[in-house]
Amino acid sequence: MWRTAQQGRKPAAGRVESVEPEDFEEKVVKPSHHQPVVMCIHVPEAAASQRMVQLLSELSTRFTHTIFTKMVASEAIARFPPQDAPAVLCYKDGVKVAQFVQLRAFHGPSTTADDVEWALAQLGIVSSEMVEDPREAALFD
């Protein structure tokens, strides 16, 4: 197997918690001081956003020590253009350490949970046993 689930917080399997803008500090920034937080800014009716939320839900069952959240892109999020959704933001120690804009930041419409896992593992957001970028392996399939 390529991966192991991290030990720690045990959320409901497959759960990506919804966060309202007014709860951002409490549900994203503060918890990131204790464990990594991944937040997806999404447009619920957009297929790409639906896909990313589904992939993060899958990853949340693999990596229970990382908090996975989602927030609807709206005017409440200052300066965020909805056309950039889905955007995946990663937080550690109270600060944003990375931002991935749209599925093309991973593998475009062919993005898989393994593609996202690889990107998050490179940042130390999840502990993965993957040894190579799955996008490279896909080139030879």
> What are the structural domains of the chain?
17-138 (3.40.30.10)
Q: What is the dihedral of CA 37, 38, 42, 46, to 10 degrees?
A: -150
How would you classify the pairing of strands 37-42 and 95-101?
unpaired
Provide the pLDDT for residue 95: 97
Over the stretch 86-121, which tens digit does the pLDDT of each residue have?
Answer: 999 999 999 999 999 999 999 999 999 999 999 999
Over the stretch 53-90, which tens digit does the pLDDT of each residue have?
Answer: 999 999 999 999 999 999 999 856 777 888 899 999 99
Nearest CA to 81 among 25, 28, 30, 41? 41
Please state whether 47 falls in left (phi above 0), alpha (psi between -120 and 50) or beta.
alpha
Main-chain phi, psi angles of 94, to 5 degrees: 80, 5
How far, CA to CA in Å, does 62 sit from each of 47, 65, 113? Answer: 23, 9, 10
Alpha carbons 68 and 4: distance in angstroms, whole number: 17
Alpha carbons 80 and 57: distance in angstroms, whole number: 23
Residue of higher predicted confidence among 90 and 139: 90
pTM value is 0.85
